[in-house]
Structure 1
Amino acid sequence: MSDNQSLSELYLTGSLPPEIGVTQLPQTLKMLSLAVSKLEHDPMPDLGKLPNLNILRLFARSYLGKEMTCQSKGFPVLRVLKLWMLEELEKWTVQEDSMPLLRELEIRRCAKLNKTDGWQRLSSSLKELILTNMPDTLEEDIKKRKEWAKVRITVNTWKFDPLPPDTAKA
């Protein structure tokens, strides 16, 4: 797959075969979405090396690990990052000089995420932070920090009620 140098957008649903993996993605990618990829090892060190990646979306069960680290100098042109329903993720670390151009960060239903090492480094470039169905402790921690004062923070709590019995049969 790394030979396909004209590929700029990719949406992958399902497990990645070991011979492909994130290290084999084309360097030309500008947008990458992963869903149900079931990656067991932190993909961020490798994804952070994609020199043209502007948008990264890690959707439900794309990563199954407990910790994720965005390494120093990683994601040099990333502007949008979405982390949705990474159910096991507990800690996300952002090292110095990682994601220097990030403008929008959306984190949705990562219920165990409660450790935010280095997130304050994002506040200098970040314009919008969207938290949906996240732990209250995480929301409170972010809101009380001075460095987030210039960031537009949106907190959403969505309830997903089951359909009424007669509607579910239709």
Structure 2
Amino acid sequence: MIHLKDLTLHIYMPRLHDQFRFPPHLAHIRLTWCHMEEDPMPVLEKLLHLKSVQLTSDAFVGRRMVCSKGGFPQLYALKISKESELQEWMVQKGSMPCLRTLTISNCQQLKELPDGLKYITSLKELKIKGMKRGWKEKLILGGKDYYKVRHIPSVQFINCDHD
């Protein structure tokens, strides 16, 4: 088990406790249908070798997620998809310093992108998929949240025209 690098959990798991022991060299994790009630980020961001994280299909059913300063030191890919209850996501300065790709998909309650994205200068690609009308208008040149994404070379909006 100590050599495990990729892990997919498709299991009901309302809490992800610190004492839950992940393999020390885990590089990729995908959490699906876990229905975690507490923010999983404080536990996941301490996994020093993590390179990609996917939270999909109500992996997290809370309303607020926080990525802390110093967290996810090697993470290069993050996908948050179909998290139906997520309303607020905060990213502190110094979190995810190596992040290159970010995908936000079908998170209909999410109000906006985190302000802290402006500090992640390594970010090369942002994909916004299946989000409500208004996201594109806020994030394009001249939009009120453009400052959060202006440093990202590729910002894509896919199927973002519905209410």
Report the TM range for the smaller structure's normalisation. 0.7 to 0.9
Q: Is the 8 A contact 1:10 1:32 kept in 2?
A: yes
Shift of 1:46: 0.9
- Paired residue secondary structure (1:77): coil
For residues 43-80 of structure 1, the C-alpha deviation after alignment (integer angstroms, 9 at most, x for no partner) is 00110000000010001010000000000100000000
- CA RMSD in angstroms, aligned pairs only: 2.0
Q: 1:147 to 1:15 in 2, by over 3 A?
A: closer
Residue equivalent to 2:156: 154
Q: 1:64 to 1:24 in 2, by over 3 A?
A: same
After TM superposition, the structure 1 = structure 2 runs for residues 8-47 of structure 1, keeping only pairs within 5 Å, are 8-16=5-13, 21=17, 23-47=20-44
Structure in which a larger fraction of residues adopt helix? 1
Deviates more, 1:90-99 or 1:138-147: 138-147
Residue equivalent to 2:61: 64
Shift of 1:126: 0.5
After TM superposition, the structure 1 = structure 2 runs for residues 10-159 of structure 1, keeping only pairs within 5 Å, are 10-16=7-13, 21=17, 23-115=20-112, 116-122=114-120, 124-143=121-140, 144=143, 145-146=146-147, 148-151=149-152, 152-157=154-159
Shift of 1:21: 4.6
- Paired residue secondary structure (2:134): helix
- Equivalent AA in structure 2 for residue 117 of structure 1: D
Residue equivalent to 1:163: none
CA distance in 2, matches of 1:119, 1:54: 18
Larger of the two Rg values belongs to structure: 1
Q: How many residue pairs get matched? A: 154
- Aligned to 1:7, which of 4, 7, 28? 4
Moved over 2 A (4+): 20-24, 135-144, 146-150
5+ residue gaps, structure 2: none
CA distance in 2, matches of 1:44, 1:17: 14
- Paired residue secondary structure (1:96): coil
Q: Is the 8 A contact 2:136 2:160 kept in 1?
A: no
Q: Is the 8 A contact 1:10 1:33 kept in 2?
A: yes
- Equivalent AA in structure 1 for residue 150 of structure 2: A
Shift of 1:146: 4.0
- Paired residue secondary structure (1:136): coil
CA distance in 1, matches of 2:78, 2:134: 21
